[in-house]
Amino acid sequence: MKDLDNIWVLVDKFEIGIESLLHNADFAIREESVAVKLGIDEIKKKLDVFVETIDNVSQHADKCSRNIRKARTMILQRIIRHPDQ
């Protein structure tokens, strides 16, 4: 469950970042060319953070999936060894 909570935190962080990028893009579109350059610069700065967040979500999802498979295997082994319990 903790792994899933970690994934949700990362997804929330990612969602906040996307909203910020959309805000910057909207600002750049509405303003003059100087604002467009500023908006694009902000988007470029945040791109690395998004890539890192995506990598973190992927790693946590993989870890969670492995843990679930391990737990299933352990449960099945216990059932097979002790079917009456």
Q: What is the pLDDT of residues 45-82, one digit of tens each?
A: 788 788 888 888 888 888 888 888 899 999 989 888 88
pLDDT for the residue numbered 73: 92
Q: In sequence order, what are the residues at sequence separation of 6 or more whose Cβ sits closer than 8 angstroms to the Cβ of residue 38?
A: 28
- Over residues 4-56, the pLDDT tens digits come to 777 788 888 888 888 887 887 777 677 666 767 777 777 777 887 888 888 88
What's the pTM value of the predicted model, to 2 decimals?
Answer: 0.53
Q: How many domains does the chain have?
A: 1
Query: What CATH number is associated with residue 55?
Result: 1.10.287
Domain region containing 47: 2-81
Q: For residues 40 and 23, what is the distance between their CA atoms, to the nearest angstrom?
A: 11
